[in-house]
Structure 1
Amino acid sequence: MARTAEPVLAVATVLAAASALSGFFTGWAWAPPVAVAAVAGALLAWLVTWRRVPGWACAPVALVVLAVGQLYGLHASATLYGLPRPAALRATGEGLLSGWARMLTVTLPADTTPDLLALPVALAFAAAYTGVLLVLRTRLVVAVALPALVVLAACLALTAGREAWALVPTVTLLGTALLLVLVRANRASTDDGASAADARAVGVDLGAQRRHSTAGRVLIGLPGAAAVVALAAFGASALPLADGSGRADPRSVYAPPVQVDQGLSPLVQVRPQLTDSPVPLYRVRVRTDGDPADVSRVRLTALDRFDGALWTQGGRFVLAGSTLPHTTAYAAGADTVRLDVEVLTGASPFLPVVGEPVALDGAAAALDEVSGTLVRADDGPDAGSDAGSATSSSYAVTGLVAHLDDVEGAGPPAGDVGLLALPDVPEWVGERADVARAAGTTPWAQLDALAASLRALPYDPGGLPGHSYGALERVLRTQDPVAGYAEQHASAFAVVARALGYPTRVAVGYRLDPSRAVDGVVEVVSTDVHAWPEVLLDGYGWVAFEPTDVANTVDSPEREEPEVPQVAPDDAVAQPTQADDAADDGGTEVAGGVLGRVVRTGALVVTGLVLLLLLLAGGVVLAKTVRRSRRRARGAPARRVAAAWRETCDLLREQGVPVALARTPLEVARTTAAAGGPAAAASDAVGELATLVTATVCAPAEPTDATARRAWALEADVRRRVAARTPLPRRVLAAVDPRTLRGPRTTPVPEAAAPGDAPTDVPRPEGADDAVPAGAGPADGAGRAG
């Protein structure tokens, strides 16, 4: 039962670690494929153990099984009557090579899609395969939980962006791992090396005794394991430990695949749309619980960085799923507003939203989590076409619109200092801030007074463009002011509000004219473009203010259009305005296309695998060197003589000489002489060492240090002769062969074997590696025959 429970518990630890992905995906649709992959990996490990195939040699087979499983398990819809099509093969290859990159470039929680499942499925498969191999083929105890710990670390890294606790998955992993270690340690401790035949000779049911002993020890240890789990959970919850919000996020160092062209701020596009002929852009329906909602504007983008000349966007775009991340806790509640949008033109990459977007349906988009801005991540309706394109598409976005009850007492939260940044503030900004500060004692009173003062200014849609300090002063000065429009009014409010200490940004979007509504659908045209400021208030999110009175118009005199200097956009202030075209597979396009991405990622993966193989090979060589040094220096002379023979046997195994534990040293020496090849060149030294070992084991007296030194001199002579006759590639392969690190595989002697039959292998008790040479029989602590 214990032997059966250990592989099951090994798989359970992997699944417990993988449960940390619940913070990455929406819902639990990802769990069945990951569980199936873990079970498949465990079954493959059991199969190679049953067939006695070396686990490391079966690694390529495991990769093939994983690839086929992903092809038919995740991309079955891309096959043709069960036959893989190029699209299915390409999707499988990209998932295995670039799945990790895809997982680092989506918003959380993400939808359960095949490309996002590729890495979790591969991790679960590999961890279960490795864990079950460790359980079935080694006597390791604590190390069997290492594959599950690797899975947990990977899941915590992938979900670091959620800044949430992973306490439940971690405690679950701890509980299952402790149970596995408890069963494994106590089962191993009952294996005292006694044979079943000896037990029957004295009338003892050895199997029953071992079962009772293991069960008793496990039952006694269960309360201790439960206490450890409870203490860990209590300590993580009650003590001032890290809560997961400060985890290093690999997303911060990985460039998202949605790249956009750099251009000037969208705010400079307000005036051309106001003054040009109206062009239909969208058809919009706004609803709350099925009823029309009182929403007067939709937002395209929000600009939160100001350098004194341009308002720009400081966030980055990552691919979005159907569920969009949001963290605002609304003090007075919020309405859930659904915005149904029909896009009539592909001139703009931005998608209109309302409030704080929380869900998206019907469009492949990328999201700037900081500002809540959505841009198209696919070709879209005639992407990049002229504004008059007749091609259309539809999508729906759901947003939260805060209730403003008791907003008069709300203040700004502690947040990004960039939302308060104002470079080289001119004197007039401080004067305007002092006037607003004198209008009231609460933030709302000051901000409302500032908006009212700006609304009193005349409105001229044909005014001079610009929103730099100079352009704003031109509109606000008391002597000979120039009438402006929403670009200057919104910018002036944001600048002065920041001088007052309130985090502010400028939003650009479109007003919804209810007079043009037909059956609740409003057609938005280009002349509806508008800009307004938004202030971040604690418990209410971004609250919009209106500093522009579009009804307070003035007659625009005919003026010569000023020449606007052509300024090359700077990377620090440039604003993304156009998404990359032809973004393949949901907007994952990067420079070089899909083929280039696969080649680059494949090169990185291959390089990583080569480095890993070199590291493993170096570890094997180092382990052998350390083991040889310890064998030569540690223990009594008899133990060192036996260790020299064991080292020689390991060398012979690496050369392909069969060295069975049931054979005596002299039999091994004769086998070496008859084997031919490089090992036969050292057969005389092997024979002398075998005679020395036999005499040492069977002699009644303890051997001397000189005998031990002679044994190791013979071992060095054997090694030197074999190396001289072995080609260099074969020597390298023998040096990195890890099989001798775990010793020869043993099989029990059949009970019905004839007395003259020579079994190829016999089981050996733990710890007898260096104490007893092959074929010498049991020995006491000094190495002599018992």
Structure 2
Amino acid sequence: MSTTTSSATSTRSARSARPARSATSRWTPTRAALVDVGFLLALCTVALLGLGTTFTGVGYLVVSLLGVVVGLLLAGLVRALRWPGIAAVTLGVPVWLGVAVLIAQEPFGPVTDQVVGGWKDLLTTLPPVEGSGVVLVLPWTLGLVAGLLGGLTRALRSGPVLLRSAVALLAPLLLLGAVILLGVTRPQSLWLQGVGFAVLAVGWLAVREGRRLRPVEGSATGRARRTTAGLVLVAVAGVLALPVTSAALGDDDGRVVLRSKVRPPFDIGQYPSPLASFRRYVEEPAPADPQNLFTKTLLTVQGVPAGTRVRIAALDSYDGIVWGAAEDTDPTTTDDAFQRVSSTIDNPVEGARLDVTVTVGEGYAAVWLPTVGDLQSMDFERGDADAKRDSWRYNLASATAVVPTGVRPGDVYRFTTVQPDDEVEVDDAPSSAVTDNRYAAAFLDTQARQWSAGATDPMDRVFKIADHLKTAGKYSDGVLQAEKIYHPGHHQKRLGDEFANAPIPVGNDEQYAAIMALLANSVDVPARVVMGAVVPAGGVVRGKDVSAWVELQVADGSWRTLPTETFMDLDRPAEQPPVTEQQMSGTVVPPPAPIPPPSTLAEQNDTELDDRKVNPADDDDDQPGALSGWWRWVVLGVGGPLLLVLLVTGTIVGLKAWRRRRRRAAARASSRVVGGWRELVDHARDLGQPVPVGAGLTRRQQAPHVATPAALDLARTADGIVFGPSDPDPAVADEFWAMVDEERRLMTGSAPWKRRVRAMVALRSFRRS
């Protein structure tokens, strides 16, 4: 009895002593806590390494691991102070903001924008993204959230033992899922993200369970419990690792990543096809049109051998009128989109590596950025370089680059590229992909069958069609007087009735490349048209060097060049147009009947004289009475429509003035600032600038599309004012409007007078999407 009493007394003494020991040692982490923190850091590091293919450098890893550590410290601080878990989140918000501002080197507004739209910017930018500046706010946020969640779930005390151990894995598992979703289809390391993560997770669970089973480890019951617990832990770890491994390895269609589901808010179709203006590059007889570019310098290209092809644009969609650039036309890849690009591009291609420098000459001004091969990196050196870096986009599938702010004479840019050996051969197996161009080429099915008769293999048929075009066709730019019957364009009528169905097909690169690509699609070989130039010796590309060729997709998904000389000869047609079949049939066409000379006054019969007496006004148009009737019709026919035009124009201009005054006189100063930014965007849209609008678009996203150097600064200023701690002073809003007015004047002054006139009555700014 005394033994029992003594035991109970010692137990009570031990229990009463625990709080005292806890109060003195709660600021010192235990060995178990350090082990848990170590596993958490290791698991989070493995997960975050998956972003290695998304960012350049190791800056993303440093700031994200800093976030994990800070999150763990905040969770430990809250636990030591015995505060509720929500206190860790409350402390984390100011810590997040302060460190984010230091990392981004940006004010409060752009940093908060990253929380809302950072993931969207990341997913719509071709990886790897430059790992510096404001883009690092997203990795910092991921790390901090993972650290806070991991620190709070690690110390969970309620619930079954096994559940508490499994919940501790929640933070690194969620972090790994977020990294995979925000990553790319090509993982950084399958072993690291799959097997490595699973092994660390199982090891941590085993350590935590082993720690709890030590008091009974000497008994048979303890050994059985350990064995059972170990089997259960392995099974649970296997179940948890299964989705992780599946996500890392991917299925037959590739990994499930948000990048393949989210399309950037960019419409490449808003820019006209460069092929439609091909006749600007042909030789014209004197005096040549001032817009003709045949002799003008377009580009000076350094770093490439003579004969290299510079591509202006790959045109992969035909709508019956023009070949144009589009997105989602290549079913063999998910990279067929125009995405924002960092300075480095993850574009694995085999071939010769080149360092190229391009200087834009006096004859080139467009949104299409001439490049060579498959880009690996890009840097703009001169000509509004910062704006171009922020706005330019690149399509991996078509190797086409576009700068929405425009490429202008004097611009200089440098890029590294890989030039593959890409000329197609007759024995290359074509891709089995079916594109919409196959159906667009249906009007040429008859010619495709006739001109490829005798060939069975699709690639063989393509080369046979090319040989027929080169043998039967003639070359003409349609600028000589005797050749003006050969019209420009590559719409269905021009390619059908005026080319394929003509006695002799006649055209230049525009028609030959357009119809060759359509005929290749017609025989089930995916094809597209490429507009570009062949670099001559010396590297100076002039208008006369511009040409159009065809690219065919082969079985491995790559695109190979079918040179222009394969399907087009330079033999010119006869000076006289070929006779038609009706003229060749032998039928004698009688000459037109001669027109009798007019009768004299003496030859008029009595009936004519009587008619003149009855209707004297028919011959008296010069009398004063006739003048008044003529003037009345002029007033009604011209003045009425003119009055209607003035009424419509005045209404539109008045509505814009009323809208501008309402925005400037808003009740709150912050609302005036918002109205000022909208006024700038609306004016840019009316001038024809492709500024996106609609729900979810921030001012910083719109700024690169506004063609004025101060747009980005104005967007940042507006964000700082609108999201500031208090409503700004009215003088601040007035100053912002003054800056907006100045930028509007600059934009208007730099636009051609025709565009300025159209902007006055443009209705784009009244459409909010």
| TM-score, normalization by structure 1 | 0.59
Q: How does 1:478-497 map to 2 (within 5 A)?
A: 479-481=502-504, 483-497=506-520
Partner residue of 1:174?
198
In the aligned structure 2, how far is the partner of 1:240 from the partner of 1:338?
34
Change (3 A) 1:581 1:419: closer
Deviations 1:684-704 (A, max 9, x none): xxxxxxxxxxxxxxxxxxxxx
Alignment map for 1:593-672 (pairs within 5 Å) = none
Q: 1:452 maps to what in 2?
A: 467
* Residues 3 and 251 (structure 1), Cα distance of their counterparts in 2 relative to 1, 3 Å cut: closer
Q: Tell me whether 1:63 sits opposite 2:101 in the alignment.
A: no
Identify unmatched segments of 5+ residues in structure 2. Answer: 1-30, 159-163, 285-291, 328-336, 381-387, 479-485, 578-687, 724-769
Q: 3-state SS of the aligned residue for 1:451?
A: helix
Q: Distance in 1 between matches of 2:706 and 2:269?
A: 12
Task: Report what 1:662 is aligned to.
Answer: none
Deviations 1:539-573 (A, max 9, x none): 48211123454743458889xxxxxxxxxxxxxxx
Contact 1:493/1:547 (CA < 8 Å) preserved in 2?
no
Higher helix content, 1 or 2? 2
The structural deviation recorded for 1:25 is 2.6
Question: 8 Å contact 1:358–1:400 — kept in the other structure?
Answer: no
The alignment's C-alpha RMSD in Å is: 4.4
Contact 2:700 2:715 in 1 (8 A): no
- Residues 348/238 of structure 1: CA separation in 2 closer, same or farther (3 Å cut): closer
Written as runs of structure 1 = structure 2, the 5 A alignment for 1:3-22 is: 3-22=33-52
Q: Deviations over 1:400-444 (max 9, x none)?
A: 322659x442111233x2265223722x53333442252x55555
Which residue in 2 is equivalent to 1:430?
446
Query: 2:180, 2:501 → 1: CA distance?
Result: 58
Secondary structure of the structure 2 residue equivalent to 1:169: helix
Question: 2:119 corresponds to which residue?
Answer: 100
1:393 is the counterpart of 2:412: yes
Secondary structure at the residue paired with 2:270? strand
Show structure 1 runs of 5+ residues with no match: 79-86, 193-208, 288-292, 383-389, 559-576, 605-786
1:318 to 312, 334, 339: 339
- Indicate the residue corresponding to 1:129 in structure 2: 148
Structure with the bigger RCO (C-alpha within 8 Å, sep 6+) is 1
Note the C-alpha offset of 1:452.
Answer: 2.9
Contact 1:420–1:498 (Cα < 8 Å) also in 2: yes
1:402 aligns to what SS in structure 2?
coil
Given that 2:101 and 2:111 are in contact with CA atoms closer than 8 Å, whether structure 1 keeps it comes out as: yes
Kindly tell me: are residues 255 and 502 of structure 1, through their superposed partners in 2, closer, same or farther at Cα, counting changes over 3 Å?
A: closer
- Post-superposition Cα deviations, 1:373-409, rounded to whole Å, max 9, x if no partner, equal 11125x4665xxxxxxx4322222413322659x442
Match of 2:353 among 336, 339, 345: 336
Q: Distance in 1 between matches of 2:452 and 2:242?
A: 51
Q: Which segment is superposed worse, 111-120 or 233-242?
A: 233-242
Opposite residue 53 of structure 1, the aligned amino acid is W
What residue is the counterpart of 2:273 in the other structure?
A: 265
Alignment check: 8 A CA contact 2:375 2:415 kept = no
Counterpart-to-counterpart distance in 1, 2:182 and 2:273: 33
- Native 8 Å contact 1:6 1:183 kept in 2: no
Matches within 5 A, 1:25-174: 25-72=55-102, 74-75=103-104, 78=105, 87-139=106-158, 140-162=164-186, 166-174=190-198
For residue 495 of structure 2, what is the amino acid of its counterpart?
Answer: L
CA–CA distance in 2 between the matches of 1:49 and 1:335? 59
Whether the aligned pair in 2 keeps the contact of 1:2 and 1:183 (CA below 8 Å) is: no
Q: Does residue 1:532 correspond to 2:549, yes or no? A: yes
Matched length: 530
Q: Contact between 1:301 and 1:508, CA under 8 Å: does it hold in 2?
A: yes
Q: Report the 3-state secondary structure (helix = DSSP H, G, I; strand = E; otherwise coil) of the residue aligned with 2:298.
A: strand
Cα distance change, pair 588–441 in 1 and its aligned pair in 2 (3 A): farther
What pairs with 1:125-524 in structure 2 (closer than 5 Å)? 125-139=144-158, 140-162=164-186, 166-189=190-213, 242-243=250-251, 245-258=253-266, 262-274=270-282, 276-277=292-293, 278-287=295-304, 293=305, 295-315=307-327, 316-326=337-347, 334-344=351-361, 347-362=365-380, 364=389, 365-376=392-403, 379=405, 390-402=409-421, 407-415=425-433, 417-418=434-435, 420-423=437-440, 425-426=442-443, 428-438=444-454, 440=455, 442-456=457-471, 457-462=473-478, 463-477=486-500, 479-481=502-504, 483-514=506-537, 517=538, 522-524=539-541
Q: Does the 8 Å CA contact 1:298/1:511 hold for their aligned counterparts?
A: yes
Q: Which residue of 2 aligns with 1:205?
A: none
Q: CA separation in 2, counterparts of 1:239 and 1:88?
A: 37
Q: Deviations over 1:168-215 (max 9, x none)?
A: 2133322222223222233344589xxxxxxxxxxxxxxxx99xx999
Which amino acid letter does the alignment assign opposite residue 169 of structure 1? Answer: Q
2:14 counterpart residue number: none
Alpha-carbon distance, 1:501 to partner: 1.0
Alpha-carbon separation, structure 2, partners of 1:153 and 1:451 = 51
The 2-side partners of 1:391 and 1:557 are apart by 44
Deviation (angstroms), 1:524: 1.8
User: Contact 2:316/2:325 (CA < 8 Å) preserved in 1?
Assistant: yes
The 1-side partners of 2:576 and 2:411 are apart by 39
Superposed displacement of residue 602, structure 1:
14
How far 1:17 moved relative to its partner?
A: 2.0
Distance 1:596 1:114 in 2: 18
Shift of the 241–323 alpha-carbon distance from structure 1 to 2, 3 Å rule, reads: closer
Contact 1:454 / 1:547 at 8 angstroms: preserved in 2? no
Q: Aligned to 1:57, what secondary structure does the other structure show?
A: helix
Tell me how far apart the structure 1 counterparts of residues 704 and 375 of structure 2 sit (CA, whole Å). Answer: 24
**1:56 shift after superposition:** 0.4
Deviations 1:136-179 (CA, angstroms, capped at 9, x unpaired) = 35352211111112111111111254478745213332222222
Shift of 1:12: 2.4
Return the offset for 1:268: 0.5
Whether contact under 8 Å (2:310, 2:535) holds in the other structure is yes
Do 2:527 and 2:550's aligned partners in 1 also have CA atoms closer than 8 Å?
yes
The one-letter code matched in structure 1 to 2:281 is Q
Residues 414 and 26 (structure 1), Cα distance of their counterparts in 2 relative to 1, 3 Å cut: farther
Give, in angstroms, the shift of residue 496 of structure 1: 1.0
Q: d(CA) in 2 for partners of 1:269 and 1:317?
A: 22
What is the TM-score when the length of structure 2 is the normalising length? 0.60
Q: Which amino acid aligns with 1:279?
A: K
**Separation in 1, partners of 2:306, 2:227:** 65
Change (3 A) 1:372 1:62: same
Letter paired with 1:103: L
Instruction: State the secondary structure of the residue aligned to 1:53.
Output: coil
Q: Cα–Cα, structure 1 residues 129 and 507, in superposed 2: closer, same or farther, change >3 Å?
A: same
Contact 2:448 2:522 (8 Å CA) reproduced: no
Residue in 2 that maps onto 1:619: none
Structure 2 contact 313–530 (Cα < 8 Å) conserved: yes
Query: 2:296·2:542 contact (CA, 8 Å) conserved in 1?
Result: yes
- The structure-2 alpha-carbon separation of the partners of 1:553 and 1:588, relative to structure 1 and needing over 3 Å to count, comes to farther
Once the two structures are superposed, residues 10-49 of structure 1 have per-residue CA deviations (whole angstroms, 9 ceiling, x without a partner) of: 2322222222222323454422222122112111211222
What do the CA deviations read for 1:93-125 (whole angstroms, capped 9, x no partner)?
333332111111111333323333221220111
Change (3 A) 1:104 1:454: same
Distance in structure 2 (CA, Å) of the matches to 1:254 and 1:497: 32
In structure 2, the residue corresponding to 1:513 is in which secondary structure? coil
Per the TM alignment, residue 131 of structure 1 is displaced from its structure 2 partner at its CA by: 0.8
